[in-house]
Amino acid sequence: MNDSRPTILITGISGNLGVRLLPRLSEYRIIGVDLSLVPGRPDIELYPLDLGRESSCVKLVQVLRETNAEAVVHLAFVTEPLRTAVIDREHIWQINVAGTARVMEAISEVNRNGGNVRKFIYPSSVAVYGAETNQTTNEDTPLSARPLKQANHKTETDGVVRMRAGSMGKCNTYLLRSPTYAGATVESYLLNAIRGHALAIGNMEKKTRSRQKPLLSYLPAGEWSPQKLVQFLHVDDMARLITWLLRRTAPDESELLTLNVAGSGSPLSISQCAEIAQMRIRQLPSKWVCTKITTMLCNRGVLSVPPDALSYLTGSQTTSTQKLRELLGSDYEKVIQYSTEAALRDSFAKTEAAEAACGN
């Protein structure tokens, strides 16, 4: 029997955000583009395309046409090479930056020839504004990401999306810039640095996760202050926002809508994060010492925290979400259900509880 539901194509569907998003999309037929299977979802129609290869664009055009997809949610992005086993720098760039261009080119080609892809949703990052912002950023703040490779790729990809948005016919583009995701199911080196085990891998990771005592986190003296501010976004809130945008009636004319997205309420200071994590902080003499130690541990496979990430671990970032509030209106509290503090606290909850709540 033919599936009469509207079709959505999701790249990177097997990642954490994709898995959290899927239970909310029962009214849609889902097409996945990923090299990995979706955990617990053998029913998903999956196309194993490597977006890091030029040939993927032609294949995407074919998939979009055959499935008559009405929307594309582009989640494919390599953030942590060691965990994804994608360690070739050039191939990472091909996936992150060129891959995004290929997805958008495929949409353009399909729509030029009678297709009906009306929405393209891409989660970006507030890292594009830089590691240290002296004031609260908004969507018009100049981009100045450096030196973290992930942030540079997000900035390049952000530019690709803005440049190509107008070439996709009547497709509406949603560019969502968020801080670090939080939640019990989220794994990232920044979040785990706050958790206290800094994403050690292998046997070292198991040992640090099993410890009951607070762990030490080492940060450079001088450039770091316990009062520097950070924000988080619960991964389920991003999933709810994407769902809301998919259900939103698309304007007749295509639009590029850039939105900063973060947890509600006030940002947290580094010292507040440490208190929530029950983590002690010890300062090393300088950033140079901190970088040397991080580089050594990373090279030995003990840590997956790249030395370039130190600027983002010690920087102060806050962003305004006023534009998002205005768009969501009375739905704001239904979509953004976690404050920055609540999102971080949930990151220390048991994964089982978070999975049971998926879809709420």
Residue-wise pLDDT for 302-335, tens only, equals 666 666 666 666 667 899 999 999 999 999 999 9
Residue 231: name the closest of 273, 187, 189 by CA: 273
pLDDT of residue 311: 66
pLDDT bin (cut points 50, 70, 90) of residue 280 is confident
**Residue 297 falls inside a structural domain:** yes
The verdict on 93 and 204 lying in the same domain is no
The verdict on 126 and 207 lying in the same domain is no
What is the domain range of residue 168? Answer: 7-179+233-262+319-336+350-356
pLDDT score of 260 more than 50: yes
Span 110-129, average pLDDT:
95
Span 43-61, average pLDDT:
95
pLDDT score of 252 more than 70: yes
pLDDT score of 72 more than 70: yes
pLDDT of residue 3: 82
> Residue 137 in 3-state DSSP?
strand
Residue 138: name the closest of 320, 322, 326, 327 by CA: 320
More confidently predicted of 189 and 353: 189
In degrees and rounded to multiples of 5, residue 191 shows phi and psi of: -65, -40
d(CA 242, CA 239): 5
pLDDT score of 131 more than 60: yes
> What is the count of structural domains for the chain?
2
Whether the CA torsion 152, 37, 52, 244 is positive or negative: it is negative
pLDDT of residue 213: 46
d(CA 261, CA 179): 7
The verdict on 250 and 283 lying in the same domain is no
The verdict on 115 and 248 lying in the same domain is yes
The verdict on 153 and 241 lying in the same domain is yes
pLDDT of residue 227: 74
pLDDT score of 206 more than 70: no
The verdict on 32 and 175 lying in the same domain is yes
Among 215-219, 247-251, 289-293, which range has the highest average pLDDT? 247-251
